[in-house]
């Protein structure tokens, strides 16, 4: 099973700041990695797929990068609605999710 390790567990930032979230895979997942956003009491929402492609309707301030085993989700300038938990997910070998990174207001 491919293990996805997300860091940091919690990121404390202010609106307008840049957020950088990391997802590291225990094996090569090529580019088959997605990012999801989940707000309290809501279902997850697909943000990024194939490591760097924004899903439909996702603002340009969200960007994904990386390949192989190291991936990054960047939020260029945090808006109030961006404070949430973010999960990475791979579908290269079976299917696994990372443990999540909570982006909270500082």
Partner 1 sequence: EVQLLESGGGLVQPGGSLRLSCAASGFTFNNYAMSWVRQAPGKGLEWVSVISASSGSTEYGDSVRGRFTISRDDSKNTVYLQMNSLRAEDTAIYYCAKWTSSGWYIGSYFDYWGQGTLVTVSS
* Closer CB to partner 1, 60 or 94, in the complex: 94
* Closer CB to partner 1, 17 or 96, in the complex: 96
Q: Is 78 exposed, middle or buried (0-12, 13-18, 19+ CB in 10 A)?
A: buried
Distance CA 31, CA 68 (A): 6
Q: CA 84, 82, 93: angle at the middle one, nearest 5?
A: 60
Q: For partner 1, which residue of 14, 42, 60, 80 counts as binding (CB under 8 A)?
A: 42
Q: For partner 1, which residue of 7, 10, 50, 76 counts as binding (CB under 8 A)?
A: 50
Instruction: Give the tokens for residue 105.
Output: 């207001």
- The yes or no reply on residue 69 touching partner 1 (CB under 8 A) is no
The binding site for partner 1 (CB under 8 A) comprises 31-32, 34, 36, 38, 42-46, 49-50, 55-56, 87, 89, 91-92, 95-100
């Amino acid at each position: 099973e491919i293990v996805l390790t997300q860091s940091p567990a919690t990121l404390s930032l202010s609106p307008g700041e840049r957020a950088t979230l990391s997802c590291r895979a225990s094996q090569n997942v090529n580019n088959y990695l997605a990012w999801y956003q989940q707000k309290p009491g809501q279902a997850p929402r697909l943000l990024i797929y194939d490591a760097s492609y924004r899903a439909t309707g996702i603002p340009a301030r969200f960007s994904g990068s990386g390949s192989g085993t190291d991936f990054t989700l960047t939020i260029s300038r945090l808006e109030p609605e961006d404070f949430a938990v973010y999960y990475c997910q791979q579908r290269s070998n079976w299917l696994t999710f990372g443990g999540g990174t909570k982006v909270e207001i500082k």
